[in-house]
Chain A
Amino acid sequence: MSDSAAPLTTADGVPLKVSLRRAVRRSKFKALLLVSPLLLFLMIAFVIPIFEMLSRSVANPEVVNHLPRTVAALEDWDRQDVPGEPVFEALVEDLLEGQEARNLGLLASRLNYERSGMRSAINRTARGLRTMDPPYREGVIEANARWGELDTWKIIQREARLYTPSYYLAAVDRQLSPDGQITRAPDNLQIHVNLFWRTFWMSGLITLMTLLLGYPIAFLLASLPLRHSNLLMILVLLPFWTSLLVRTTTWIAILQSQGVLNDVMVFLGVIADEARWQMIHNKIGTVVAMTHILLPFMILPLYSVMKTIPPSYMRAARSLGGKPFLSFRRVYFPLTIPGMAAGGILVFILSIGYYITPALVGGQSGRFITNYIAYHMQTSLNWGLAAAIASILLLVVVVFYMVFNRLIGVDKVKLG
């Protein structure tokens, strides 16, 4: 024992505090070193691509890149009347250059999102430019009337910046008028807000259904002796481990109009052969199939919470004179709320991001917003809009995920 005035040292004379700090620093470094390969991999292969895609939702390089002269010539335009000859001359030069480089398509589709008819205005005018002589103003307007409209030029001027809110506005069924006011999109384009709401309320319904079906099962599993509950647990885990496509396929086989359920109903005489139920390719199909698919995600967290509730609580409530239902409602049920929250948020998050099942069994009316992201990615090729919808969806998911993390902690999730 050293005397109390002298600092504690290790065997080789280094003060204990310094040595300890060094050791902590070393193990911090070691931990970080172990994590870094994975962190680096995920950053490159996942996180950066996600941000890169999300940045497409505001990126707007088309006008700036493909109409540089026009944009410059429009700088001191008074916005009162269709611009004069210098602007048209610049436009012709830009279009000629674009035609040579064969990249007018991007510009044409970009402006077409803002104002219909612009695609053909650009393509058709560009094709006729070779035979056109100055002064260009007359000829260009004659080639396509859009060039003679004030709004066209207002839009070109407005879109001459590298970032645009247009895609986000389109994602919530709004658009910018040529004068920069936010207005509702035409009725035939009012799709996305409805789809967002449908995705949310159907996911809410699916969450509720999994809760209603999952609660009794979790309760049964938690109250049976382990030997029996382990066996029954297999019935929960088997669907969990079975391919998503298998589970979706089987619902098609069961629910379709020539399927098992309808056949049984016809056989039993419940419905006539001609009046078979339409249960697939609509909302019913999506809700039933997804409830089945997501049910294990509700049961597992509920079960792990119920497992921690001592059975003596209920016995105590009963012995104090509580009727069974009252004791359940006042004692057991409140204790299971964390489990319901965990399962509920988990199912809801998974549900709003689901793509495969709604696409296969949802038909037109049972589709989710994710199906529209895919549509804009693959069919309409409006990637900016796809990115805008995706980032709104991602924001919702991240908010719910943070709530989930605060409540339970993601590393506490038991997988099977």
Chain B
Amino acid sequence: MAIPSYATRGERIWYYVFRGICALIFLFLIGPLLIIIPLSFNAQPYFTFSQEMLTFDPAGYSLRWYQDFFTSSRWLNAIKNSFIIGIASTILATVLGTIAALGLSSRHMPARGLVMALLISPMIVPLIISAAAMFFFFSRINLAQTYLGVILAHTALGIPFVVITVTATLSSFDTTLIRAAHSLGANPTRTFFKVVLPLVTPGVVSGALFAFITSFDEVVVVLFIAGPEQRTMPIQMWSGIREQISPTILAVATLLVLLSMMMLTTLELLRRRGERLRGVTPG
């Protein structure tokens, strides 16, 4: 969007004003995430910059909140729980969701719209309603306050993301490739592993990442159905924010921002790989 040579003066001014507005909005988007990073190194137990920090006095900075985090058994236990629950529910959701997506993308799938709407519903129903419903249901079948209960609940919440991303990948999948593989003498198993799987993998992996982050970031359902033993990171943060507000939360938040940067990079690499494999030229 370079300024065309015929632009009037007013347009030139507007061009820079518009860029300025956009820069401010980007600052609104990203600034809050960046601001917690220096705050998490605060030597004082405050949520704001101290005098020493502003004058770049080394005494104003410390790693005490990180130390707090890595030596607290509650936080470490919460991380462990989050990973156990996140990984288990991601595996379940990815396997079930991918198999279902294969069926959904078939031309002959009956009642496709209805089934799709049903599979997407956990994403649409407000979390508090899902949480209340699961609370009653899991209590009745004695799965409340168990790992299995939380894992199954998170599987349900993660499924829509897997279904959406994998069906999207499959819809751009060129089925003539399968016929081509057959005609070149590959048997179905070989075709699946050598042709279908490499092309579909990026979609499956990004669906899995979505499912994982959904579980990893989920508070409401865990709040309702988990017991004290299944305390996850988000729950620990939630109670931290509500009860004893301490900058340890900012240290955790910084670590989580780094995690999301890693996830985002992975996704971007997957997208590029997917484009390359499909022969789409990246921009």
Query: Which A residues have a C-beta under 8 Å from some C-beta of B?
Result: 24, 27-28, 30-35, 37-39, 41-43, 45-50, 52-54, 56, 213, 216-217, 220, 223-227, 230, 232, 234-239, 241-254, 256, 258-260, 263, 292, 295-296, 324, 349, 352-356, 360, 370, 373-374, 377, 383, 386-387, 390, 393-394, 397-398, 401, 405, 410-411, 413-416
Known: A238-B30, A246-B257. A38 touches B99 (CB 8 A): yes
Known: A37-B100, A245-B234, A251-B32. A259 touches B137 (CB 8 A): no
With a CB–CB cut-off of 8 A, which chain A residues contact B46? 258
A188 to chain B, nearest CB (A): 25
Q: Are A47 and B121 in contact (CB under 8 A)?
A: yes
Q: Are B137 and A295 in contact (CB under 8 A)?
A: no
Known: A243-B234, A295-B29. A397 touches B125 (CB 8 A): yes
Q: Are A53 and B106 in contact (CB under 8 A)?
A: no
With a CB–CB cut-off of 8 A, which chain B residues contact A356? 219-220, 238
Q: How far is the CA of A327 from the CA of B159 in the complex (A)?
A: 44
Q: How far is the CA of A393 from the CA of B260 in the complex (A)?
A: 31
Q: Could you list 15 A-B pairs, sorted by A, with CB under 8 Å?
A: A27-B107, A47-B121, A49-B137, A50-B130, A52-B136, A241-B213, A242-B256, A243-B237, A253-B47, A256-B47, A324-B11, A356-B238, A394-B129, A405-B117, A415-B165
Known: A238-B33, A241-B264. A410 touches B120 (CB 8 A): yes
Q: How far is the CA of A46 from the CA of B155 in the complex (A)?
A: 10
A159 to chain B, nearest CB (A): 22
Q: Are A224 and B1 in contact (CB under 8 A)?
A: yes
Q: Is B241 an interface residue (CB 8 A)?
A: yes
Known: A394-B129, A401-B124, A410-B116. A238 touches B261 (CB 8 A): yes
> Inter-chain contact count A-B, CB under 8 Å?
269
- Residues of chain B from 143 to 158 with CB closer than 8 A to chain A in the complex: 152-153, 155-156
With a CB–CB cut-off of 8 A, which chain A residues contact B192? none
Q: Are B136 and A254 in contact (CB under 8 A)?
A: no
Q: Is B35 an interface residue (CB 8 A)?
A: yes
With a CB–CB cut-off of 8 A, which chain B residues contact A39? 100, 115, 118-119
Q: Which residue of A lies closest to B138 (CB)?
A: A49
Q: Are A45 and B110 in contact (CB under 8 A)?
A: no
The 7 A-B residue pairs with the shortest CB-CB distance, nearest first, are: A353-B126, A226-B283, A34-B103, A49-B137, A38-B100, A31-B106, A35-B103
Bin chain B's interface residue count: 35 or more
B78 to chain A, nearest CB (A): 12
**Contact residue among B153, B245, B283 (Cβ-Cβ distance under 8 Å from A227):** B283
With a CB–CB cut-off of 8 A, which chain B residues contact A37? 96, 99-100
B12 to chain A, nearest CB (A): 11
Interface contacts beyond A38-B100, A249-B249, A393-B126: sample of 7 additional A-B pairs, CB < 8 Å, sorted by A: A24-B108, A47-B121, A220-B18, A246-B36, A253-B35, A353-B126, A401-B124
Q: Are B128 and A253 in contact (CB under 8 A)?
A: no
Q: Are A217 and B103 in contact (CB under 8 A)?
A: no
**Contact residue among A45, A226, A258, A355 (Cβ-Cβ distance under 8 Å from B152):** A45
Q: Is B9 an interface residue (CB 8 A)?
A: no
Q: Is B263 an interface residue (CB 8 A)?
A: yes
**Contact residue among B35, B127, B132 (Cβ-Cβ distance under 8 Å from A377):** B132
**Contact residue among A42, A56, A390, A415 (Cβ-Cβ distance under 8 Å from B122):** A42
Known: A31-B106, A39-B118, A50-B130. A258 touches B48 (CB 8 A): yes
With a CB–CB cut-off of 8 A, which chain A residues contact B18? 216, 220
A344 to chain B, nearest CB (A): 16
Q: Mark B231-251, 1 if CB is under 8 A from A, else 0.
A: 000100110011001000110
With a CB–CB cut-off of 8 A, which chain A residues contact B250? 249, 253
With a CB–CB cut-off of 8 A, which chain A residues contact B260? 238, 241-243
Q: Are A250 and B35 in contact (CB under 8 A)?
A: yes
Q: Are B121 and A241 in contact (CB under 8 A)?
A: no
With a CB–CB cut-off of 8 A, which chain A residues contact B11? 324
Q: Is B66 an interface residue (CB 8 A)?
A: no
Q: Are B109 and A35 in contact (CB under 8 A)?
A: yes
Q: Is B200 an interface residue (CB 8 A)?
A: no
**Contact residue among A27, A52, A225, A232 (Cβ-Cβ distance under 8 Å from B283):** A225
With a CB–CB cut-off of 8 A, which chain B residues contact A56? 136
Q: Which residue of B lies closest to A213 (CB)?
A: B25
Q: How far is the CA of A293 from the CA of B219 in the complex (A)?
A: 16
Q: Are A49 and B136 in contact (CB under 8 A)?
A: yes
Q: Is B184 an interface residue (CB 8 A)?
A: no
**Contact residue among A33, A235, A263, A413 (Cβ-Cβ distance under 8 Å from B103):** A33
With a CB–CB cut-off of 8 A, which chain B residues contact A43? 118
Q: How far is the CA of A54 from the CA of B261 in the complex (A)?
A: 39
Q: How far is the CA of A50 from the CA of B133 in the complex (A)?
A: 5
**Contact residue among A34, A230, A387, A413 (Cβ-Cβ distance under 8 Å from B99):** A34
Q: Are A28 and B33 in contact (CB under 8 A)?
A: no
Q: Are A41 and B137 in contact (CB under 8 A)?
A: no
Q: How far is the CA of A323 from the CA of B153 in the complex (A)?
A: 56
Q: Are A411 and B167 in contact (CB under 8 A)?
A: yes
A106 to chain B, nearest CB (A): 15
Among B29, B127, B267, chain A packs the most CB atoms within 10 A around the CB of B29
Q: How far is the CA of A403 from the CA of B120 in the complex (A)?
A: 15
Among B125, B134, B234, chain A packs the most CB atoms within 10 A around the CB of B125
Q: Are B100 and A239 in contact (CB under 8 A)?
A: no
B106 to chain A, nearest CB (A): 4
With a CB–CB cut-off of 8 A, which chain B residues contact A225? 283
With a CB–CB cut-off of 8 A, which chain B residues contact A242? 33, 256-257, 260
Q: Are B128 and A260 in contact (CB under 8 A)?
A: no
Q: How far is the CA of A35 from the CA of B21 in the complex (A)?
A: 47
B138 to chain A, nearest CB (A): 8
With a CB–CB cut-off of 8 A, which chain B residues contact A353? 125-129
Q: How far is the CA of A413 from the CA of B48 in the complex (A)?
A: 38
With a CB–CB cut-off of 8 A, which chain B residues contact A401? 124
Q: How far is the CA of A226 from the CA of B25 in the complex (A)?
A: 20
Q: Are A239 and B125 in contact (CB under 8 A)?
A: no
